[in-house]
Structure 1
Amino acid sequence: MKLIVNADDFGYSKGVNLGIVEAHTDGIVSSATMMMNMPGVEHAFRLAENHPSLGVGIHLVLTCGAPLEPNVPSLTDEYGAFRRGQAHLADVSAEEVEREFTAQLERFFRTGRRPSHIDSHHHVHAHEAILPVVLRLAERFRLPVRYPWVFGQQRGDHLPVPTTQGFSHHFYGDGLTADTLFGIVEGLSGCSSAEIMCHPAYLDEELLTGSSYARQRARELQILTSPEVREYIRDRKVQLVTFNDIG
């Protein structure tokens, strides 16, 4: 099986960035996705330059921080920040979403790099009101997309852009162990290609004050870099890849 272990939230903060890179160099993370509107993004790109084996995609954002585009009122609150949660997504302007996502993609391209793929913060790309916009942009820029698992389909074979056959968001939350990860890998073993989402990080002030999912990230980092996990992946001949390696 080709397995992508993708660390979300690259660019959120220096602590997140350093945790992701360590989970790559000393663990099983093979890919990460960049939040183009967050304060740690330039630091993340500098780290990525020094670690070319780490695939770097884009983590499209509608629910954290502030937009890059001006005048997107259906997406923002009274302070100009993105509105939290997803209850409002059914009623947002598709034109505003497309402008904002295009701005995030274009900021990525201006770094001189090409994203390996598209996914999103809080899985907004899989929302029924947002997915058509994402697929349009993925086709325009010829980029793979994280499989929109919330639709309940078992395979991604029929999407108009490349994706993996399997995806798991279950390496998340309290009480994670190496056995949690092993169970996820076993559950995906029937797929020729699959992705596991993760969020490793070192805790810093930005993360502790800005995210409700903080302490658990340090636990993820410990598991993803453990000798036990690295040995398990090696012994089962799982091929750790990036979205550049799937077609």
Structure 2
Amino acid sequence: MKLVVNADDFGYSKGVNLGILEAHVEGIVSSATMMMNMPGVAHAFRLAADTPTLGVGVHLVLTCGSPLEANVPTLTDENGMFRRGQAHLEDVSAEEVEREFTAQLETFFRSGRKPTHIDSHHHVHARETILPVVLRLAERHGLPVRYPWAFEQAAERSHTTKVHTTEGFSHHFYGADLTADGLIAIIEGLSGSATAEIMTHPAYVDEELLKGSSYAIPRARELQILTAPKVKEYIKLKKVQLVNFNEIG
């Protein structure tokens, strides 16, 4: 099996960035996706430039921080920040979403890199109102997209025929009760797929993360597990190939 172990939220803060880097260098993380609108993005780009073995894609954002585009009123609150939560996403303007996502992707391209793939913060790309926009952008740029069928809001598979993704996906490595054995069980459960992805969120917990995210302390536990000798030994024993989205074809 070719397995992408992706660390979400690259660029959120320096603590998140350094945790992701360690989970790659010392552990099993093979890929990360970058939040183009967050304060740690320049730091993330510097780390990525020094670490060419880490695949880096774009973590499209609609629910955290501020937009890169001006005049997107269906996406923002009275302070010009992205609205929190997801209830409003049923009524957002698809044109505003496309302009904002285009701005996020173009900001990445201006770094001189091509992203390995697209996914999204809080899985917003799986929503019926947003998935067509993401698929259109993915086709335009020739980019794979995180498996969108794992979430309740996902559209039919027939909508994604032209966009490459993995055969399997797990978002279950998440929460306060994570263990190395639990991660191994997730990997084992994906073993029937030729290609698969596991979503992760390793980090060193810093002030920005504590203030801004409801999911903070467990990220340090994720980092510990993703670098655990037991997990690395299992990967080696089972001959799992750790890859990024450029290598899943």
Aligned mates of 2:213, 2:80 — CA distance in 1:
19
After superposition, the C-alpha distances for 1:179-210 in whole angstroms (9 at most, x for unaligned) are 11011111111000000000000011000111
- Please report the TM-score for the alignment, with normalisation by the length of structure 2: 0.96
Measure how far apart 1:122 and its partner are.
0.2
The answer to whether residue 170 in structure 2 is matched with residue 161 in structure 1 is no
Measure how far apart 1:246 and its partner are.
1.6
Q: 1:140 to 1:84 in 2, by over 3 A?
A: same
Aligned to 1:81: 81
The answer to whether residue 231 in structure 2 is matched with residue 235 in structure 1 is no
Measure how far apart 1:159 and its partner are.
3.0
- Aligned-pair identity in percent equals 76
Q: 1:136 to 1:212 in 2, by over 3 A?
A: same
Counterpart residue identity of residue 100, structure 2 = E
- Map 1:96-111 → 2, pairs under 5 A: 96-111=96-111
CA contact (8 A) 1:13 1:41 kept: yes
Aligned to 1:150: 151
Unaligned 5+ segments in structure 1 are none
Aligned to 2:40: 40
CA contact (8 A) 1:154 1:166 kept: no
Counterpart residue identity of residue 106, structure 1 = E
Q: Secondary structure at the match of 1:5?
A: strand
After superposition, the C-alpha distances for 1:38-73 in whole angstroms (9 at most, x for unaligned) are 000000000001110000000000000000000000
- Map 1:74-223 → 2, pairs under 5 A: 74-148=74-148, 149-150=150-151, 159-223=161-225
Aligned mates of 2:128, 2:168 — CA distance in 1:
19
The CA RMSD over aligned residues, in Å, is 1.6
- Please report the TM-score for the alignment, with normalisation by the length of structure 1: 0.97
CA contact (8 A) 1:156 1:163 kept: no
Unaligned 5+ segments in structure 2 are none
CA contact (8 A) 1:98 1:133 kept: yes
The number of residues matched between the two structures is 247
Q: Secondary structure at the match of 2:74?
A: helix
Aligned to 1:55: 55
Q: 1:86 to 1:114 in 2, by over 3 A?
A: same
